[in-house]
Amino acid sequence: MLILECFFFRNYSVSQGGISRFIIIFLMIYTFIYIIILIKRLFFTKPSITLGSDYVISTKNQKYEATQVDCIYMNYKRIGFKLHGRRLVPMDLCFYFDSSQEIEGLKHLNDWAEHNKKQVKQKFFQTLM
């Protein structure tokens, strides 16, 4: 996205005037803000999910019943809850454990999956933003 922004800036900002100049400036500002939001989300937010006996509370404080969860995907340290009827895992249902809590957290997660009869799959998954 940054490369596209540089391309537009180099080709259009000097040679053309009028409304196209404002469109290019708007796209550059939008891209810059988008990159700042992504960096902020990546470094300054800590995703946490609460597991209840038969429900999951996501990072956005939305409650999902265990019947809505199809399976649990694990890819390296990233964990995601896939919902029924969805191909992608929602971003608010993805999380990871800290190094100090990983063993205990995985045990608790496997107990929850066994209690609610959900499969835990070691599989790459994509998220829906």
Q: Say whether pLDDT at 128 is over 80.
A: no
Looking at beta carbons, which pairs linking 27-35 to residues 24 or more positions away fall under 8 Å?
Answer: 31/1, 31/2, 31/4, 31/5, 32/5, 34/1, 35/1, 35/2
Q: Answer yes or no: do 29 and 72 share one domain.
A: no
3-class secondary structure per residue, 19-85: HHHHHHHHHHHHHHHHHHHHHHHHHHCCCCCEECCCEEECCCCCEEEHHHEEEEEEECCEEEEEECC
Q: Say whether pLDDT at 25 is over 90.
A: no
Expressed as residue numbers, the domain containing 14 is 2-44
Q: Six-digit token pair at 65?
A: 């019943």
Q: Answer yes or no: do 25 and 55 share one domain.
A: no
86-100 tens-digit pLDDT: 888 888 888 888 888
Mean pLDDT calculated for residue range 54-81: 87
Q: Answer yes or no: do 40 and 55 share one domain.
A: no
Looking at residue 111, what is its pLDDT?
Answer: 92
Q: Answer yes or no: do 36 and 77 share one domain.
A: no
- Count: domains in the chain: 2
Q: Answer yes or no: do 64 and 10 share one domain.
A: no
Element (H, E) at 120: strand 119-122
For residue 37, what pLDDT band results from cuts at 50, 70 and 90?
confident
Average pLDDT, the chain: 82
Q: Answer yes or no: do 114 and 94 share one domain.
A: yes
| Residue partners of 11: CB distance under 8 A and separation at least 6 | none
Q: Give the SS3 label for residue 105.
A: helix
Say which range, 4-8, 42-46, 68-72, 97-101, has the weakest mean pLDDT: 4-8
For residue 33, what pLDDT band results from cuts at 50, 70 and 90?
very high
Looking at residue 14, what is its pLDDT?
Answer: 52
Position with higher pLDDT, 123 vs 48? 123
